[in-house]
Amino acid sequence: MNIVNIMWAGGAPYVSVHKVHQQILSQAEPGTSISSWLLQGQGSCCSDGATREWQLSQRLLKGRHIWKLLHPWMRGRFRQALKQSGTQMVLLDGMGVSRLVLPVLRQLPDVRAAIVFHGKTRLHRGDIALLRGFQSSQVTLVAVSQTLAAALEQDLGMPVQVLRSALEPESFRRTLLERDQARQALGLPLQGGPVLGAMGRLVDSKGFDYLLDAFAVARQQRPDLRLVILGEGNQRTVLESRISALGLEEVVSLQGHCNGLAQLYRAFDWVLIPSLSEGLGLVLQEAVMADVPVLCSDLSVFQEQLGEAGRYAALGDVAAWGQAIVDSVGSDASQVARAQYQALAPERVWQRFSQASSDLLSGR
């Protein structure tokens, strides 16, 4: 079988999305040929197979104004490349990629497609018409959580398969650095007060702006707290200014994107996830599998994974988050971590994910 994995872009901001696709593709049958396309940017999309970098401009991909006139030319190139490679299936990264590639499949009826939705998606009437124009035998819609699938089904009036993303627990835990090693890698003190970690792109939806205010509130009761934010994005300047305005320069660090981030979770006493919206939130899964307790926004997608074992704070509520941080660091972290691991049940979730991914790729 020949599968082409088509991603919107490469680079650090898209690591989590690529990771999900890698995990799905890892369940392909032996002998399957897998290659990847990056529409923008550079990098490797999956551990197996070659990656083709199309180097297409943002204006061309978005198709606004005169650039839309070039879409037939671009789709012609896609069609020729798919035919030449003998592609039997494409794995598509969300609606942006699908807008470009699905029209090509109308002329390639023997090529199946699976569209993986990773988060909240703004669907236009044209998107809905495009998706409804294909038989379910050719195009399968997939969401990375039950919460996201339910929202998409309501918007589309079409069935959406749940493929709750998961990581293989044993191999993930094998790569983890122990506490002191991870702290040394991040330049953190080995002793002292609780160290809190937050990970993700520095963008509005991750909620890091109000997290800084909440952290300042928490330090009024716990001045020994330290916060490390790992990630990069267009909100860096805003966050740096906020850190300075709150006088937190000595206790809050923006460390940027870190290679090997998944190895570093044990540097932290708690992981904070203040997201305003998430499709799934792989950071939650990774932290819990690293035996680090999580405090997260009160989102349905997090409740779906942790249930009553979750520690939740009201969405965007600075005062609630400040008190929740204080309460969390004052609790038995190891007991919370054990309860959250049991609730997440990584081994069982991985088995279900593996079987569902295998069925998706094989067309069963």
- Read off the tokens for 131: 């998706």
The rounded distance, in Å, linking the Cα atoms of 147 and 170 is 26
Short-list 174, 163, 145, 209, CA closest to 21: 163
Residue with tokens 């870190």: 258
Whether the domain at 2-163 and the domain at 169-345 fall into the same CATH topology: yes
Predicted local distance difference test score (pLDDT) of residue 177: 97
- Angular region, 80: left φ>0, alpha ψ -120 to 50, beta rest: alpha
Q: Are 53 and 10 in contact (CB under 8 A)?
A: yes
Predicted local distance difference test score (pLDDT) of residue 239: 97
* CATH numeric code, 169-345: 3.40.50.2000
Q: Are 37 and 77 in contact (CB under 8 A)?
A: no
The rounded distance, in Å, linking the Cα atoms of 19 and 14 is 9
Short-list 157, 165, 86, CA closest to 119: 165
Q: How many helices (H) and strands (E) does the chain have?
A: 15, 13
pLDDT tens, per residue, the chain with 364 residues: 999 999 998 877 788 899 999 999 999 999 999 999 999 987 766 555 689 999 988 888 877 766 777 788 889 999 999 999 999 999 999 999 999 999 999 999 999 999 999 998 889 999 999 999 999 999 999 999 999 999 999 999 999 999 998 889 999 999 999 999 999 999 999 999 999 999 999 999 999 999 999 999 999 999 999 999 999 999 999 999 999 999 999 999 999 988 788 899 999 999 999 999 999 989 999 999 999 999 999 999 999 999 999 999 999 999 999 999 999 999 999 999 999 999 999 999 999 999 999 999 998 8
Predicted local distance difference test score (pLDDT) of residue 49: 63
Q: Identify any residues that bridge with 256 across adjacent strands, giving them in sequence order.
A: 230
User: 3-state DSSP call for residue 2?
Assistant: strand
User: 3-state DSSP call for residue 352?
Assistant: helix
For the four alpha carbons of 232, 94, 3 and 31, in that order, the dihedral sign comes to positive
CB atoms within 10 A of CB 357: 21
Predicted local distance difference test score (pLDDT) of residue 46: 59
All structural domains of the chain with their residue ranges: 2-163, 169-345
Range 2-163 classified under CATH 3.40.50.2000: yes
The rounded distance, in Å, linking the Cα atoms of 341 and 123 is 35
- Read off the tokens for 170: 């044993």
Short-list 212, 238, 207, CA closest to 315: 207
Strands (DSSP E) contained in the chain are 2-9, 33-40, 51-53, 89-93, 112-117, 139-143, 161-162, 195-199, 226-230, 252-256, 270-273, 294-297, 311-313
- Angular region, 178: left φ>0, alpha ψ -120 to 50, beta rest: beta
- Read off the tokens for 49: 């197979």
